[in-house]
């Protein structure tokens, strides 16, 4: 089971192209800082504006650079089922440990449609699948009942829950009627990462971990070790930073924060634009407050 802090990795760009050198160095830094696993090619990695060739290349770079030191959960989501299947197959061939597959956005499928979508990826990809439930971006919300049905499939192993509904782990377990002991609940909301753990979660796929990997990993580890004083201290220290990471469209703030640490340029791809001066000051102040900058 996956547990701990998994950064939803930014994809560094330089002059409009993927900056492979910066990305490889960023991966090494993340692992050195204690990150528990890596998630390339999610929304934070600007997957909507990566070409298919770039998407596959970024996945390959991440797996190659990680060198099995930590698990890699490769983003393989699409609102086209066949495209999601193809990306998942590629991730398997590249050596990913699992894939993260978002609920189909824009199409607005029914619960039956979502079940069929994930079952197709499950049946054809041949590696563990984590459901990414994020109603705020995809518009559709997978119910605990649908998730419980999918969890009966051997390779549907968990969920990245970005609903901010802290009852979801319990409701989903209840829908599983006593099953799902090995089903992995990962938060997709940094601000509720600790309450999500208290609700039965196992970790977080994190935006903030792009700029504060050690703090995020230490917070998760403190929870697992039942060092609640340390866990709550780190949560309080990180909360303003969590907020700043979403002061404008993600991953703009995270990329600017990473640029302050010398990890990459703040460059994003249209329709995203570099964050405003006011947002930059907010990110900088939050990083100073968290002890990441002088």
145: exposed, middle or buried (Cβ count in 10 Å: 0-12, 13-18, 19+): middle
Instruction: Please tell me the total number of residues recorded for the chain in this structure.
Output: 294
Can you tell me the distance from the alpha carbon of 198 to that of 194, in angstroms, rounded to the nearest whole number?
6
Q: Which of 3, 92, 160, 280 is catalytic?
A: 160
Centroid of chain to Cα 187? 9
Two structure tokens written together for 208: 């903030």
Q: Which of 92, 105, 115, 132 is catalytic?
A: 132
Of residues 118, 16, 112, the one with CA closest to residue 76:
118
Residue 160 bears catalytic tag: yes
Dihedral pair phi/psi, residue 74, rounded to 5°? -85, 130
Of residues 80, 37, 76, the one with CA closest to residue 55:
76
Can you tell me the distance from the alpha carbon of 251 to that of 45, in angstroms, rounded to the nearest whole number?
7
| Residues recognised as catalytic | 132, 160
């Amino acid at each position: 089971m996956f547990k701990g802090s998994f950064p939803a990795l930014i994809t560094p760009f330089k002059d409009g192209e993927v900056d492979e050198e910066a990305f490889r160095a960023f991966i090494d830094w993340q692992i050195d800082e204690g990150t528990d696993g890596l998630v390339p090619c999610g929304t934070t990695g600007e997957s909507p504006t990566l070409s298919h060739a770039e998407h596959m290349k970024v996945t390959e770079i991440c797996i190659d650079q990680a060198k099995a030191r930590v698990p890699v959960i490769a983003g393989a989501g699409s609102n086209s089922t066949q495209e999601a299947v193809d990306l998942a197959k590629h991730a398997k061939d590249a050596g990913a440990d699992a894939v993260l597959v978002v609920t189909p956005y824009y199409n607005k499928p029914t619960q039956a449609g979502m079940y069929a979508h994930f079952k197709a990826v499950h049946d054809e990809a041949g590696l563990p699948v984590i459901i990414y439930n994020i109603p705020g971006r995809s518009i559709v919300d997978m119910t605990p009942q649908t998730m419980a049905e999918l969890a009966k499939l051997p390779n549907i192993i968990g969920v990245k829950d970005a609903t901010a509904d802290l009852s979801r782990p319990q409701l989903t377990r209840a829908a599983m009627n006593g099953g799902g002991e090995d089903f992995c609940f990962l938060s997709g909301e940094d601000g509720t990462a600790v309450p999500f753990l208290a609700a039965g979660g196992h970790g977080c796929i994190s935006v903030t971990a792009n700029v504060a990997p050690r703090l995020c990993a230490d917070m998760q580890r403190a929870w697992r070790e039942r060092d609640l004083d340390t866990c709550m201290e780190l949560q309080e220290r990180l909360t303003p930073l969590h907020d700043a990471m979403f002061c404008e469209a993600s991953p703009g703030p995270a990329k600017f924060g990473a640029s302050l640490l010398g990890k990459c340029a703040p460059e994003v791809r249209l329709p995203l634009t570099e964050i405003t001066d006011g947002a930059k000051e907010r990110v900088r102040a939050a990083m100073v407050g968290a002890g990441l900058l002088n």
